Amino acid sequence: MIYVRRDPALIPEKVLKVAERAQAALEALPPEERVAFIKNKSHIWRGFKKYLARMSYGKCWYSESPDPQSFFDVDHFRPKAEARRSDTADPDEGYPWLAFSWENFRFSAGRSNRLSTDEHTDETVGKGSWFPLCQGSPVAEWAHRNVVERPMLLDPVNSADMDLIRVESDGSIKPSYTCVGTNASRVKQSIELYGLDLPRLTEARLRIMRDVQQKFEALLKIVAVANDFPLAADPLPVQEQAAAIKATTMPDSPYSLAARCKLIELGGADLIARPEDYPPVQSLPA
């Protein structure tokens, strides 16, 4: 999971207008008709999928997975029809007023968005309608929408949330070194509900980390030769190797958080891509 910068300019005006019309119709409905109306309009949020995907270079916003064999959803970060807060409390109505709000949409791989079983532990993973809040947080509702909630789940569009996690040397997601208290609990719940430590994901992150280490060790050898034989240094592929390493940390690279964390571990933080290095996000046709 890394920060995803949302860009409304990527979304065609006609797609936004369809959502606006649905929202206006929803606002006019009595409470008992809202859920059925929302469920009958799923094509509206599905219409945003390819534009959300472009914002993350085709990767799941939660897992950073680009797996072409996975199905992808448009997840409602705040659930549209019901919200489960705990194992002991009944679900509440959730956030129906955000059903057609593109700012509430997240591009998600199915294993992060839908409930499924971890085949190794038999535990249920996936976000589903879960949306727990921090202890003492106010709860927004239809009549009081502007309440500032404190969600337990990390949100990839919140850069401060992305500072709370790191990838451990075994490929697992852990709280960052300065993440403590409630934030550490938020990381733990996010790992569980987004399925971030499913075996295939940790293995994929490990592959990236091994690749980064091999590239970094090769770079060190090239630099050592250059230092030992300065007259022969110019033709050596130092910059090319450095660029190959930096590419693994770009936001369009799979599991780039794992690559970044591995470089920090190896002492190569200066090779991590900076925002000015990022590739452009091209507009899609309407």
**Interval 33-74: pLDDT, tens:** 999 999 999 999 999 999 999 999 999 999 999 986 678 999
* Mean predicted confidence (pLDDT) in 216-228: 94
β-pair partners for 83:
92
Residue corresponding to tokens 């090769």: 218
Element (H, E) at 73: strand 72-76
Flag whether pLDDT at 222 surpasses 60: yes
172-198 pLDDT, tens digit each: 999 999 999 999 999 999 999 999 999
What is the percent of the chain with per-residue pLDDT over 70, rounded to a whole number? 94
The pLDDT value given to residue 260 = 97
Flag whether pLDDT at 114 surpasses 90: no
Which one, of 45, 194, 191, 173, lies nearest residue 114 by Cα?
194
The pLDDT value given to residue 115 = 64
Element (H, E) at 117: strand 116-117
The pLDDT value given to residue 89 = 87
* Mean predicted confidence (pLDDT) in 229-244: 91
125-139 pLDDT, tens digit each: 678 899 999 999 999
The pLDDT value given to residue 119 = 61
Residue 111 tokens, joined: 């294993």
The pLDDT value given to residue 272 = 97
Q: In this structure, are residues 22 and 100 in contact, taking their beta carbons and an 8 Å threshold?
A: yes
Distances (CA, A) of 261 to 11, 16, 64, 129, 168: 32, 37, 14, 31, 8
Flag whether pLDDT at 286 surpasses 50: no
144-183 pLDDT, tens digit each: 998 999 999 999 999 999 999 999 999 999 999 999 999 9
- CA dihedral 90→117→121→262, nearest 10 degrees, is -100
Q: Which residue has the higher pLDDT, 14 or 126?
A: 14
Helix axes 13-27, 31-39, angle to 10 degrees: 150
Residue 21 tokens, joined: 């019309």
The pLDDT value given to residue 62 = 95
The pLDDT value given to residue 124 = 63
